Structure 1
Amino acid sequence: MSSDATLDPYAHPLVFGQRLQILRTRRGLTREQLGGLAGRSGSWVKGVETGRLKTPKLEVVLRLAEILRVRNLSDLTGDQSLHVDLFTGPGHARLPAVKAAVDAFPLGSDHEPPPPAHLRARLARAWSARHSAPHHRDTIGALLPDLIRDAQAVVRQAETGPDWRAAHAILAEVYSLCQFFVAYQPDAALLWRVAERGLIAARESEDPHAIGVAAWLAAQAHRDCGPSHFDAADAVTLRTLAHLEPLLPDAGADVLAIAGALTFEAGYTAARRGETGTAWRYWDQARAMATCLPQGYYHPVTSFSRAIMGAHAVTVAVELHQGGESVRQAAAADAVAIPSRPRRARHLIEEARGYHLDGQPDVALATLARAHEAAPETIRYNGYAKRIVLEETEAKNPARRRRASELAATLGLLAA
């Protein structure tokens, strides 16, 4: 074996420290970086990796799993009894049909496309259903195969330049909807195919809004791959903002909103890096952009709006591990004002993270229960929520342990 070769932690019976070192290296993190993100020192990480220090407690293991974005908790621990999907959720029953539609290679013009106006109306209804249905993945998963095929057919049969660009704008939006469905499911290659096709279709459309939405989703995909991809996330975000900036003085609400959403994304990535000043500076800029939107406006894809800025403040504070600030921001934010059920559930999960950071685990569990009521499919695919619930299943307080175990069973983390 060559000196630079590394073992596969998924194929060899390695101890915890060896697995930690391999996964850390694959994420492009130094010991100091991993230690800082975990609230420990680089020397502590070295001690665990070399076996000088014993395997940490579950709450620390879960925090390391969160930072390393492991596919399954057993990938880090090596203990198959801890076979729990964290940042990769369960494969949805409708995933094969959506995947088949994405992977298809249609040729010729045997598929009669619907009128573009009809397809736009169907797409608008799909977005509305995505925001209003508690089981939103099931709802949009049923609609996506036909939407993908019809949007591709509209592109193939476009006869003029304007028709071609308009058709690509529709196709880009279909891929954006598809990315919401595919995200956090066990097919990373499919996610990236969808993201890249969305970017290509948006570029061909030359439509500022389509370009902004595709870039917003691509930046999130990069960031979710871990710290070694944060630079790529920033590159997509900032380049797209530079492209949109000259258009903003004369832009409509949708383009203004996607620019605001991208501005917050830059702050989100900065918060994940631990760059406090930069994160809050971008949040301030995004808030100022939100105030320029019409009263009651709500972006149909990103949820960017005046109301969402309170939720975004909670996210920034949580990512910076500022428990007290997270709780203060949660008190100021109004989850009820967020009309999208999955986005409201996501906000409640972020609030729960804040309460957990602040040493209020009972409030965190109660907030996660509210998130489940708002959108069960959102919390089932959220690694942060799973981490909190699993940690509290080992709480010393019997009542809290029972509540956490009941929620874990509801989420499918434990046998009911």
Structure 2
Amino acid sequence: MTDSATFGARLRAFRERAGKTRAVLGGLVGRSAEWVKALENGRLLPPRLPMLLRLAEVLDISDLADLTGDQSLPVASVTRAGHPDIDAVASAMQRSATATGEPTRVDILQGLVDQAWKLWHRSTVERSAVAGVLPSLLADAQRSVRHLAGQERRQALIELARVYHLAQLYLAHQPYPELVWVAADRAMRAAQDADDPAAIAVAAWYYAHVYRGSNQVDLAEHLLLDAAAPLDPARGGEELARWGQAQLGVALGHSKAGRAGQAWRAWDAAEHAASRLGSTYAHPWLMFGPAACAAYAVTIETDLCRPGEAVRRADSANYSALPSHTRRAAALIDAARAHLLDRGEVAAIHLLGRALRESVDTVRHNPYARAAALELSNRPGTVGEDARELALAIGMQG
């Protein structure tokens, strides 16, 4: 595709632009720091397409030609599969709020938003489940905010923020990356307009995902810490859950930056908060709790490129304790990532298959799962056969 020296120079430039060490980049794609160094120094040939796509995703490169110098290939065309209803949801996000019509009563609006979140967590095709309700829910919440006043308007703003959080989840890994930023920003503005610290903390959790995805991990940390500061975890309940989730977000940022000590200190704070809420606790729509902390511990160890610990945590995690199909599927994908980092291809493909049974949509629209299926489909024997079946099931072949 390109000569080794030129490719290596480009890779190093993008890595340094992203502020990642070789060890961090290697961990995020399941390889070692020495492997990255060998690529950058031209001692290794450029990797095959699946690994090139993984590198591009991690380094926030939209066109593979920027990395390889070869013909243009939009990264999203392979790693992002557009949902069939994406245009309708995108149109609803892009449409200006209308002032016509009667506002929805706040208690009814809250019930509608609760139902939408239940659809997201209880369906094995969560994007399809919520796509039918998101456009009308956005319009209802926007109209209510514009017509209501006082405390009712504040409550409507909190519900509007929750709708935007759901829209952000739907829009993730879709062909409208700019709308993910729009959803995160509008949710934060709604929470701030409501002047509700708990809502602001959740908005920070979702905004931090966008920052981390664009390699702005320090901005994500500052946002989360600022949002968590007004919360008093000693009060327990919602305040403790949202404070704990903010600490979890801080941990995820540090692990992506390769800062192990800081990552685990923040994770310890989150896990302690979760344990105080009870061993079986799971927030009804945020899903924060002990099981979520255990699942994210696998993510942290994998990001830190510690395969032995990542696999140990993955194999001991109780995925059934996560009361959400999409969260279980995402956790199983991270477990597969841990096993691939440890060169456990059989276990990885098995876990990806389990993830697919939990949620077709989560696997179909997850860039790592798509890249892994593509990479493993070239393996001989049952691993390759199962990977090709997985690729077919998520629409990458045939």
1:168 aligned to which of 136, 139, 157: 157
Q: Which amino acid aligns with 2:263?
A: A
Instruction: Indicate yes or no: 2:96 matched with 1:105.
Output: yes
Once the two structures are overlaid, the 10-residue window that deviates more, 66-75 or 232-241, is 66-75
- Match of 2:182, SS state, is helix
Distance 1:62 1:304, change over 3 A: same
Q: 2:271: which partner in 1?
A: 287
2:135 matches 1:145: yes
Paired amino acid for 2:371? R
1:55 Cα deviation after fit = 2.1
Letter in 2 for 1:203: Q
8 Å CA contact retained: 1:34, 1:45 = no
Contact preservation (8 Å) 2:109, 2:156: no
Partner of 1:129: 119
For residue 29 of structure 2, what is the aligned residue in structure 1?
none
| Residue 88 of structure 2 corresponds to residue 94 of structure 1 | no
The correspondence of residues 21-36 of structure 1 with structure 2, limited to 5 A, is: 21=9, 25=13, 28-29=16-17, 33-34=21-22
Cα displacement (A) at 1:261: 1.1
Q: In 2, Cα distance between the equivalents of 1:393 and 1:378?
A: 19
| 1:47 maps onto 2:41 in alignment | yes
| Deviation string, structure 1 residues 358-389 (Cα, Å, up to 9, x no partner) | 12101100110110010011011212222322
Q: Secondary structure at the match of 1:106?
A: coil
Tell me by how many angstroms 1:93 deviates.
Answer: 2.1
Distance 1:126 1:309, change over 3 A: same
- Higher RCO (CA 8 Å, separation ≥ 6 residues): 2
For the pair 1:324 / 2:308, whether they are aligned, the reply is yes
- Residue matched to 1:404: 387
Distance 1:187 1:222 in 2: 16
Whether contact under 8 Å (2:332, 2:354) holds in the other structure is: yes
Q: Which residues of 2 match residues 10-409 of structure 1 at below 5 A? A: 21=9, 25=13, 28-29=16-17, 33-34=21-22, 37-38=25-26, 39-40=32-33, 44-48=38-42, 54-57=45-48, 60-71=51-62, 76-77=67-68, 85=76, 89-107=80-98, 109-159=99-149, 161-226=150-215, 229-244=216-231, 247-251=232-236, 253-395=237-379, 397-409=380-392
* Equivalent residue number for residue 10 of structure 1: none
Q: Are the aligned partners of 1:24 and 1:30 in contact in 2 as well (CA < 8 Å)?
A: no
Deviation at 1:59, TM superposition (A): 6.5
**What CA distance in whole angstroms lies between the structure 2 residues aligned with 1:31 and 1:210?**
31
Check 1:231–1:17 CA distance in 2 against 1; reply closer, same or farther (3 A cut): farther
How much identity, in percent, do the aligned residues show?
34
Give me the whole-angstrom Cα distance separating, in 2, the residues matched to 1:155 and 1:329.
44
Q: Tell me how many residue pairs correspond in the alignment.
A: 392
Q: 1:122 to 1:32 in 2, by over 3 A?
A: closer
AA aligned opposite 2:287: S
Query: Cα distance, 1:294 vs. partner?
Result: 4.0
Which whole-Å CA distance do the structure 2 matches of 1:290 and 1:148 have between them? 31
In 2, the alpha carbon distance for the partners of 1:300 and 1:28 equals 40
Shift of residue 87, structure 1, vs aligned partner: 8.4
Alignment gaps of 5+ in structure 1: 1-12
Closer, same or farther: CA 155–72 of 1 in aligned 2, 3 Å: same
Runs of 5+ consecutive residues of structure 2 not aligned to the other structure = 27-31
User: For the residues of structure 2 that align with 1:104 and 1:398, how far apart are their CA atoms?
Assistant: 50
- The 3-state SS of whatever aligns with 2:276 is coil
Rounded Cα–Cα distance in structure 2 between residues aligned with 1:333 and 1:43 = 33
User: For the structure 1 residues 72 and 20, does the alpha-carbon distance in structure 2 shift closer, same or farther, using more than 3 Å as the test?
Assistant: farther
TM-score (structure 1 length as normaliser): 0.86
Deviation at 1:80, TM superposition (A): 6.7
Q: Aligned Cα RMSD in Å?
A: 2.7
In the superposition, relative to structure 1, how do residues 141 and 75 fare at CA in structure 2: closer, same or farther (>3 Å)?
Answer: farther
The whole-number CA distance in structure 2 between the counterparts of 1:118 and 1:216 is: 26
